[in-house]
Structure 1
Amino acid sequence: MTSNFRWYLLGLLALFGAYVALEYYRPKPVDWRPTLVNKDKIPYGTYVLYDQLPRLLGTDSVQTTRLPIYNQLTGVALEVTDALAEAQSRTITTEARPEPTADATTTTESDSTTSESDSSTSDSTSETDSGATATASTNTPATSEEGADADETTTPDSTAQTENSADEEEEDIPQHDLVASHLRHVRANYLFVNTEFAADKADAHALLRFIANGNDLFIVAENFGDSTSALLDTLGIRTRVVKLPTHAGPHGLPVPDSVTVRFTNPALAGPRYRLPGGDANVRFVVDSGRVGRALATDAQGRPVFVRLDYGRGHVYLCTVPIAFTNQFVLRPATSQFAATALSYLPARPTWWDEYQKQGRLGNQSLLRLVSSHEALNTAWYLLIIGGLLFVLVEARRRQRIIPTIKPLPNTTLLFTRTVASLYRQGSSHALIAEKKVGLFMDYLRTRFQEPSPDFGDEDFRERLSQKSGLTRPRVDELLRLVNFARTAPQMNDQQLLQLSRALTDFKREARR
């Protein structure tokens, strides 16, 4: 039985090991999430582009930043902005005024521009073969839209006029004090490759200062949220979603047709790149009176990649981030789109933003919000300590030491002696003899199968002699003493002792 159990156990262990090995070596399903993270090698990651970025830009100085835009451009420490944000939240919570005053409005504006989401820095430099591919762009006017279905119109290109208007608009924009005093004086490219780009007022002011100082901003995003309105309004550009023709896809569901994209520069207009329509349905619209250059358009001439001049720098905006992912960078038919688009950037140090995709570098646990506030952190530790105390106290109460209960001793012999002494003290020898005779009758019934013996029967005496192995005279003497004890009204000590010895000797010799 033990051997069979071992074989069953070994079989179960072998099956479990085979299942674990199968699950471990089974091909993992493809992750189709559009993360655009520079470390992801999934189809919609940007590992390949980031790895080849030094070669495409002609510089070895490619730095990954995990800081908010404001902190990256101004050099203000995260502790400062976090402290300002916390102070502002406390002020809003504790101070309730019926009417906002001018001072309060100014304070609120100042604080709101410095309220940033948490982030931390992680500098990583990629070293690859350097080589620059720079292509001059032809001045192609971008489109302007007067209404929802308005026709596309062109705006004349005038670089001088754009720089003058940008300088005038820059003077009109309310700049944050820290932007002017802490803006880093560097020559760099700031590169964003996201599905959604976000920049509040403080970020927008810092970016505009950064661009006006002669730097370049390159943003690839499909969705420019409401937070970027300050930046887009200053640049004079908007986005709109176009309705694409559809065809029947799997299960008969409508699927947008693919989009053909090409560069407007005659030297680059040969290749045409086909992109999925569902991920390339956003177009740019330049406001009336603003100047923009369409660097890449779809088949209908609607721009998907534009260049805007602001001050001494340039802003590059693209609405097809899918073309910068691993799948389309490695695909021969679309591999050159990202490389050609990035070739417009000059060969200079470049910042690759990962903050808007991965957040700040550091504590990314689920309890980071709790640990960042003193009250929540204290409550968390109190909860843990209280739980431990409850477990310890409750377990001690439920698991008390069980006392050892000794088994009751066998006092049958002591009881018998006690009862016998009582009979002897009362001189009830006849009753003792009667008990002994009753036990002898029971012994005959259980030992020799004589349920109702007749002591005067010769046949019974002969059978008892043969069954017990004693001689006939011994049996006759024993039965005589037993009959005397049954019929005698009184017995003395000597008679009781003689009967007891006779019965004991009979039982001892009958066991042989």
Structure 2
Amino acid sequence: MRKVLVVVIILITLIITAAVVLSISSTKTVDWEESFNEKSNKPYGLSILYKELPRIFENHAFRTVYHQPASYLRAHSDGGYGEFIAEGSYLIFGNSNYLEDDSIDELLQFVDSGNTLFISDYSFPQKINDTLALETKYIKNQKDSISYLSLTDFDLPDIKIDKNQGDSYFSSFNKEKHTVLGYSKIDYKHANFLKVPFGAGFIYLHTEPKAFTNYNLLAENRYQYIEGVLAYLPEKDLYFDSFTKIQTPYSPDVEQESNLSWFLQQQSFRWTWYTALVFTILFMIFNAKRRQRIIKIITPLQNTSVAFVKTVSNLYFETKDHKNLIDKKITYFLEKIRIEFHLNTQVLDEEFINRLAAKSGKKAEDVKILINYIKWLKTQEAVTEAQLIKLNKFIEAFNSK
């Protein structure tokens, strides 16, 4: 026992010594990466803007879009499977190069029906440039790393943007139809903020996304510029395009956010956590040696299949685990399709729908509704009981003769 106590005292001393040495010697560096992550507190993250937008538009819904605009807007369109119809302003800050043609088409249709699209990025997808007949160019800052931003409709002093190696601007646009709302300036003024009418709505394009980041919102009076830009948005619901879905599929070096991420960034909390973790492991090791393991009582096996099924079903019902039930129902339904109709269910496209309708003798329109609903449910992180019941009705209707 005395040997164990000596070992514990030595470990504690080593941990405390290491914590003190590291706290004295370590220096915290600033990460200036332009992630435009709405959860990031780094200088070029968007956490401040993300928290303030619901307060600025407090009388309207604020929703974060974690899916591609194509799937999200289709689901929340008139006749879609969403629980509401998406109307208002769709916001994208940086990283707009992820937009594929189908997502751009949905966004343009969203604007055409009377809504608003706002994108702030250094450049825009080629399809947007071609559709709106505009071009962007980049001018390098030859003197220093400072440029200036201004708005045409607000009496504000030019806002300084430092740590800026150059500016993107609109080199070509329709001067009769497109309205210039702001300029950037290095050697001379360049149009960097446009209002473009499209159908019954408007598209706002802005070429300096750094202006919306944490660093610039807190520096001097630069927040006034952001207030002026946001003032152009209509008083309607907001849809914030999340950084998460943009980067995760393409880069392994994404910031991984967790409940402990902020605490682990704070040195004192970090060492408190590690110390508690070490003590917990030591307690488990030494405590396990002192106690005899519990001898289990083995009872004869019984046929409890029916009771098991009832228990599992009650468990899902009581815990409201609708997502799990939906995933299982979809899995069993697709397995049945593979067995009965000998169809490959890896790709649920139009060809698959037509072949399934032909083999099952069901109407192609009914089969398409069921398969599209299954595809949409797979993209959802959370579902409701009503959606589970709706899926069950579709599957029962398909299985009926």
Which TM-score tier does this pair reach, normalised by the shorter chain? 0.5 to 0.7
2:196 to 279, 288, 308: 308
Give the whole-Å Cα distance in 1 for the aligned partners of 2:44 and 2:122: 14
Give the whole-Å Cα distance in 1 for the aligned partners of 2:86 and 2:7: 72
Give the whole-Å Cα distance in 1 for the aligned partners of 2:27 and 2:64: 31
Aligned residues: 246
Q: 1:27 to 1:324 in 2, by over 3 A?
A: same
> Is the contact between residue 196 and residue 222 of structure 1 (CA under 8 Å) also seen in structure 2?
no
1:273 to 155, 159, 163: 159
Aligned partner of residue 187 in structure 1, secondary structure: coil
Give the whole-Å Cα distance in 2 for the aligned partners of 1:310 and 1:49: 27
For structure 2, the residue ranges without an aligned partner over 5 or more in a row are 257-344, 347-401
| Aligned residue identity for 2:156 | G
Cα drift, residue 289 of structure 1: 6.9
Aligned partner of residue 73 in structure 1, secondary structure: helix
Q: Give the alignment of 1:88-487 within 5 angstroms.
A: 185-224=85-124, 228-246=125-143, 256-265=144-153, 268-276=154-162, 278=164, 280-287=166-173, 291-299=177-185, 300-354=188-242, 355-359=244-248
1:483-508 per-position Cα deviation (integer Å, ceiling 9, x unaligned): xxxxxxxxxxxxxxxxxxxxxxxxxx
Percentage of identical aligned residues: 23
Larger radius of gyration: 1
Aligned partner of residue 234 in structure 1, secondary structure: helix
Structure 2 match to 1:149: none
1:254-307 per-position Cα deviation (integer Å, ceiling 9, x unaligned): xx4311111112xx1332101136355100133457621111102323111111
Structure 2 match to 1:18: 17
Give the whole-Å Cα distance in 1 for the aligned partners of 2:20 and 2:79: 60
| Aligned residue identity for 1:282 | S
Q: 1:185 to 1:196 in 2, by over 3 A?
A: closer
For structure 1, the residue ranges without an aligned partner over 5 or more in a row are 77-178, 247-255, 367-373, 376-512
Cα drift, residue 70 of structure 1: 0.3
- Over the residues paired in the alignment, what is the CA RMSD in angstroms? 3.5
Give the whole-Å Cα distance in 2 for the aligned partners of 1:217 and 1:191: 6
1:202-257 per-position Cα deviation (integer Å, ceiling 9, x unaligned): 11211111111000000011233xxx2122211111111113223xxxxxxxxx43
Give the whole-Å Cα distance in 2 for the aligned partners of 1:340 and 1:58: 17
Q: 1:304 to 1:211 in 2, by over 3 A?
A: same
1:91-118 per-position Cα deviation (integer Å, ceiling 9, x unaligned): xxxxxxxxxxxxxxxxxxxxxxxxxxxx
Give the whole-Å Cα distance in 2 for the aligned partners of 1:7 and 1:57: 61
Instruction: Verify: 1:37 aligned to 2:49, yes or no.
Output: no
Give the whole-Å Cα distance in 2 for the aligned partners of 1:195 and 1:320: 12
Q: 1:272 to 1:291 in 2, by over 3 A?
A: same
1:436-487 per-position Cα deviation (integer Å, ceiling 9, x unaligned): xxxxxxxxxxxxxxxxxxxxxxxxxxxxxxxxxxxxxxxxxxxxxxxxxxxx
Q: 1:35 to 1:59 in 2, by over 3 A?
A: farther
Cα drift, residue 57 of structure 1: 3.3
Aligned partner of residue 204 in structure 1, secondary structure: helix
When the two structures are superposed, what TM-score results if normalisation uses the length of structure 1?
A: 0.43
Cα drift, residue 15 of structure 1: 4.0
Give the whole-Å Cα distance in 2 for the aligned partners of 1:279 and 1:60: 37
Give the whole-Å Cα distance in 2 for the aligned partners of 1:327 and 1:243: 22
| Aligned residue identity for 2:227 | A
When the two structures are superposed, what TM-score results if normalisation uses the length of structure 2?
A: 0.54
Structure 1 match to 2:394: none
| Aligned residue identity for 2:189 | G
Aligned partner of residue 141 in structure 2, secondary structure: coil
Q: 1:8 to 1:312 in 2, by over 3 A?
A: closer
1:378-427 per-position Cα deviation (integer Å, ceiling 9, x unaligned): xxxxxxxxxxxxxxxxxxxxxxxxxxxxxxxxxxxxxxxxxxxxxxxxxx
Structure 2 match to 1:390: none
Q: 1:229 to 1:36 in 2, by over 3 A?
A: same
Structure 1 match to 2:66: 66
Give the whole-Å Cα distance in 2 for the aligned partners of 1:298 and 1:234: 24
> Is the contact between residue 236 and residue 290 of structure 1 (CA under 8 Å) also seen in structure 2?
no
Q: Which structure would you say has the larger RCO, counting Cα contacts within 8 Å and 6 or more residues apart?
A: 1
| Aligned residue identity for 1:215 | N
1:32-64 per-position Cα deviation (integer Å, ceiling 9, x unaligned): 222211111111111111111023335341111
> Is the contact between residue 45 and residue 214 of structure 2 (CA under 8 Å) also seen in structure 1?
yes
